[in-house]
Structure 1
Amino acid sequence: MKNFIVLTSVLLGSSLLASTTISTNHSSRSKSNKRFSWGSSNPVGTVSIIIDKSDYELSIYDDKGWYATYPVVFGNSSLADKKMEGDKNTPEGSFRTTSKRVHEKWSRFIGIDYPTAESREKFKQRKQRGEIPANASIGGGIGIHGTWPHEGFVIDRYKNWTLGCISMKNEDVQEVYSFIPAGTKVTIRK
């Protein structure tokens, strides 16, 4: 009887371990996670954004620390750093938000200041090493925006579709848009 109980426990434990191991990193992040501060639904003080390309997450931080995390998608599935205009890659580095506007296709658009001096230097070095054509341009127009109407499923399925921007569900980008001022620090990393 003792052996039966031990064997059953081992088998149950193994199946639980296997089921948690098989699940992907993204399945647990299909909904946004938020912390609300002292009755206020908005972040407190200075706000910053960290976008983690490997985890498909955009996190908001304020003076109290972590505020919220939202699922996002990008341009190419390779998740490589942007090298030049037209490569569909999302740039990596330190940026600032520059503008906000209602967007007719993607709900809201929060522009970032790509290319920065750091981006231009990386671009110049890649040209010198012959990694990109001599006549390539660096590109621009990068921002954080929503999806086409009724296509939030691309975020749930982690389908990269943009030309290099960061895409969020429309309800999430509307929320972020409501409290992100121009000049907000944005860090994009792999």
Structure 2
Amino acid sequence: MTIDRRKIILGAPALLMACSGRKVSSYEGPKVTSIMAFKGQRKLYLLNGNRAIKGYDFQLGFAPVGHKQFEGDGKTPEGTYLIDRRNPRSNYHLSVGISYPNARDVAFARAHGKSPGGDIFIHGTPKSVEGRKDWTAGCIAVLNEEVEEIYAMVGDYTPIFVKS
């Protein structure tokens, strides 16, 4: 019996979810090639090329205007990043990591004698904050059912463009 490398790679997220006890739907549609998040509109789109496959409303950090500069500022980063990790055991249902801070973010914060912060994710929403506006510490929060879709649809190294 031969093992198909692609099946292993594509099946790994489902295996992780099975071990964590959380359900993630499988996704068989067009590949998500990028993500666009518009902070002012609170809209996130999963794209295949220039075509939106799926859209979501979201909540931001508690200080939603402007680019994240320092740890604890409550802002959500703006710019171009990558999805660089996933957490099936997130305190926020599920989460996919955003590669903030980049080298420019680190240099800016250090020049001001501060930390840029980190641990920025697209994640779910605990029941205790459902319906609240802009409650995160700088992350992008969607509903739990929606983060399950995002987790299944978005691969690591997918670019994410966060605009004001």
Q: Normalising by the residue count of structure 1, what TM-score does the alignment of the two structures yield?
A: 0.66
CA RMSD across the alignment: 2.2
Q: Distance in 2 between the 1:122 and 1:68 partners?
A: 34
The aligned length equals 139
Structure 1 counterpart of 2:118, from 140, 146, 170: 140
Q: Which residue of 2 aligns with 1:184?
A: 158
Question: Secondary structure of 2:46's partner?
Answer: strand
Q: Which residue of 1 aligns with 2:20?
A: none
Runs in 1 of length 4+ with deviation above 4 angstroms? none
Residue ranges of structure 1 left out of the alignment (5+ in a row): 1-40, 128-133
The amino acid that maps onto 2:105 is S
Structure 1 counterpart of 2:148, from 158, 163, 174: 174
1:81 aligns with 2:67: yes
Q: Distance in 1 between the 2:51 and 2:84 partners?
A: 23
Q: Which residue of 2 aligns with 1:23?
A: none
Q: Distance in 2 between the 1:122 and 1:55 partners?
A: 27
Of Structure 1 and Structure 2, which has the larger fraction of its residues in helix? 1
**Percent identity over the alignment?**
28
Question: Secondary structure of 1:182's partner?
Answer: coil
Residue ranges of structure 2 left out of the alignment (5+ in a row): 1-26
- Decide whether the 8 Å contact of 1:52 with 1:58 is kept in 2: yes
- Decide whether the 8 Å contact of 2:59 with 2:141 is kept in 1: yes
Structure 2 counterparts to residues 17-96 of structure 1, below 5 A: 42-63=28-49, 65-96=51-82
Query: Which structure ranks higher in relative contact order (CA pairs < 8 Å, sequence separation ≥ 6)?
Result: 2
Q: Normalising by the residue count of structure 2, what TM-score does the alignment of the two structures yield?
A: 0.76
1:165 aligns with 2:143: no
Q: Distance in 1 between the 2:114 and 2:30 partners?
A: 42
